[in-house]
Amino acid sequence: MLGMLCHYTKKDLQILTLGALLHDLGKIAIPEEILTKNTGLTDEEFAVIKAHPLRGAQRIHEMENMLPHTALLSAIASEHHEHIDGSGYPRGLKDEEIHRYAKIVAIADVYDALTSERPYKKAYTPNVAHNIMCNVIRGQFDPKLLNLFFNNVALYPVGTILKTDYGFGIVKKSAFGKTETPTIVVFANMEGRPIEPYTIDLSTVEDGNHKIHIVVSDNDLRHFIHNLAFDPSVYLK
């Protein structure tokens, strides 16, 4: 996202950073038992949750003497759950009505929620979060900002083990704008048997992103490495 933000002044970025840190301030008014509930929320409980953006904005206004740019900081707090298709809360604002900073924080906030463990779910991997945000709930986000975000966030972080058309490989590099097609070192065939390792940049092959079948999960990795009898991370050195 830095590419698009480079024309912003240092002061703009400081406001955005501070706004991102304070965006959920209103949650301090939500009882702990609602925040950590691992079953469905009642309508009343959801109404309490839905009040946190405006409560946060209000608290920021109350700190006018201590905080700079409270109008912008409170816009981020009050609008970070608005969706560009109008399906968000608390006001159901649409695209142009939502402050750009709030749109940026909304993307980071949802990504953080999806990739973090919660009382009701495990943490998703970055590529699963990407899939959900770009396909399942795409209408919530500004498409250009969403694209920029995932141009910068590694969908397959360095060290991730992938099963691909070429066999098993370990991610060696993830480059800006090519996060769907990392460079991997292929070290085992499709059956998981070791082969002479070689490096391939998936961004240079046709439909490189479709060559990836699955991410080998932490659960499977222990057995996989045990059967392999060596640690593939040696190819990252």
We find the least distance from the C-beta atom of residue 186 to Fe ion, in angstroms, to be 42
Q: Which tokens belong to 42?
A: 């009642």
Within 10 Å of residue 58's Cβ, how many Cβ atoms? 16
* Terminal Cα-to-Cα distance of the chain (whole angstroms): 29
**Is the CB of residue 105 less than 8 Å from the CB of residue 80?**
yes
**Is the CB of residue 186 less than 8 Å from the CB of residue 196?**
no
**Of residues 12-31, those binding Fe ion (CB under 5 A):** 24
We find the least distance from the C-beta atom of residue 216 to Fe ion, in angstroms, to be 33
We find the least distance from the C-beta atom of residue 163 to Fe ion, in angstroms, to be 36
Beta bridge partners of 184: 171, 200
**Is the CB of residue 230 less than 8 Å from the CB of residue 140?**
no
Nearest residue (CB) to Fe ion, 50 versus 210: 50
Site residue total, Fe ion (CB under 5 A):
1
Nearest residue (CB) to Fe ion, 24 versus 85: 24
Q: Which tokens belong to 133?
A: 């945000």
Q: What are phi and psi of 164, to 5 degrees?
A: -130, 175
Position 201 contacts Fe ion (CB under 5 A): no
Q: What is the CA radius of gyration of the chain?
A: 21
We find the least distance from the C-beta atom of residue 109 to Fe ion, in angstroms, to be 6
Nearest residue (CB) to Fe ion, 56 versus 208: 56
Nearest residue (CB) to Fe ion, 59 versus 173: 59
E strand intervals along 14-139: none
Nearest residue (CB) to Fe ion, 58 versus 151: 58
In terms of Cα–Cα distance, which of 3, 91, 1 is closest to 53? 91
Nearest residue (CB) to Fe ion, 24 versus 201: 24
We find the least distance from the C-beta atom of residue 141 to Fe ion, in angstroms, to be 15
> 51: Cβ–Cβ under 8 A, 6 or more apart, which residues?
26, 29, 90
We find the least distance from the C-beta atom of residue 49 to Fe ion, in angstroms, to be 8
Give contact residues for Fe ion (rule: CB under 5 A).
24
